[in-house]
Amino acid sequence: MTAGGKSASEFRNYGAAARPGVADFYRENHARQTLAFVLAKKAEYLPLRRHRMGVWQAIEYLGELVDASDPDLELPQLEHALQTAEALRRDGRPRWMVLAGFVHDLGKVLCLFGEPQWAVVGDTFPVGCAFSDKIVHAEFFAENPDTAVPEYSTRTGIYREGCGLGAVHLSWGHDEYLYHVLRPYLPEEALAIVRWHSFYAAHREREYEFLMNASDRPLLEVVREFNPYDLYSKSEERPDWDRLHPYYEDLVASFLPDTLQW
């Protein structure tokens, strides 16, 4: 399932063909996403006490945000959300998965709270253990202070083998944040999509399996099933939001309250 006549190999191209600024984004992201930074952001934002905001206020904010880490798409994130959800809907996927496609990037409202994009978007990865060389632009981890900490530089680092991904601190961003916002309302499969859709090192490269437990593996398969819709639906063709809005208004209301705690 590819969009705009592009082949699958033309997506996630982080080489010379990537959008300008993407490599600079990852240089800063990889240098600054340390274990201490992640723990500080979790303490700041979790538990959720910053803001109460309507679902549609958050969704509409995505209409203003262009993801600086995305090498494939320069359209605002609302367009990407609709492209993803509509691809799922055309294939007859269950409503919970269509909803997950529509809201999976909603945590990018962190930018609305003043967070820089390097602390919000981009591929996620574990901190507190050795960085995999399968992570995009892994060469930039040489600038991360955690690489000089022996405890964080081993295969398992601060974790134990088989501890489960829920016990692993991933780089801070919209995924983990939105997971906590939506946790009371969505099925665990949808929450896995929200939490791990940017964890490409795990669901695409099959890295870090030694940290997973038995319950993680079937959920990662759901994320793998979702990923082509997230990735290959990207196109410069804009969805007709006015036509689609009533369907998504009903879909959101079926699962989520009018106001969420952020």
Pick from 54, 50, 72: nearest CA to 177:
50
Bridge-based pairing state of the strands 52-54 and 259-261: antiparallel
Q: pLDDT digits over 126-171, tens only? A: 999 999 999 999 999 999 999 999 999 999 999 999 999 999 999 9
pLDDT exceeds 60 at position 8: no
Out of 11-20, 50-59, 72-81, which region has the weakest mean confidence (pLDDT)?
Answer: 11-20
Contact by Cβ (8 Å): 121, 174: yes
Q: Is this model's pTM higher than 0.85 or not?
A: yes
In a domain, 223, yes or no: yes
Give me the number of domains the chain comprises: 1
pLDDT score recorded for residue 18: 59
In a domain, 6, yes or no: no
Q: Tokens 């829920």 correspond to what residue?
A: 166
Domain extent for 102: 19-261
In a domain, 11, yes or no: no
pLDDT class of 7 with cuts at 50, 70, 90 = very low
What percentage of the chain exceeds 70 in pLDDT? 90
In a domain, 185, yes or no: yes
- Please measure the distance between the N-terminal and C-terminal CA atoms of the chain and give it in whole angstroms: 34
Residue 5's φ and ψ, nearest 5 degrees, are 75, 5
pLDDT score recorded for residue 233: 81
Contact by Cβ (8 Å): 132, 199: no
Residues in a beta bridge with 126: 170
Q: pLDDT digits over 229-257, tens only? A: 998 687 778 889 899 999 999 999 999 99
pLDDT score recorded for residue 72: 66
Q: Tokens 């905001």 correspond to what residue?
A: 53
The DSSP annotation for 221-238 comes to HHHHHHHHHHHHT--SSP
CB count in 10 Å sphere of residue 192: 25
In a domain, 157, yes or no: yes
In a domain, 179, yes or no: yes
In a domain, 5, yes or no: no
pLDDT score recorded for residue 44: 97
pLDDT class of 21 with cuts at 50, 70, 90 = confident
pLDDT score recorded for residue 118: 97
Q: pLDDT digits over 50-66, tens only? A: 889 998 999 888 888 88
pLDDT score recorded for residue 231: 84
The DSSP annotation for 116-132 comes to -GGGTSS---BSSSPPP
Q: What is the mean pLDDT of the chain?
A: 91
pLDDT score recorded for residue 239: 87
In a domain, 12, yes or no: no
Give the pair of three-digit tokens for residue 228: 């082509």
More confident residue, 55 or 38: 38
Q: Report the b/e string of 83-118 with b at 16+ CB within 10 A.
A: bbbbbbbeeebeebbbbbbbbbbbbbbbbbeebebb
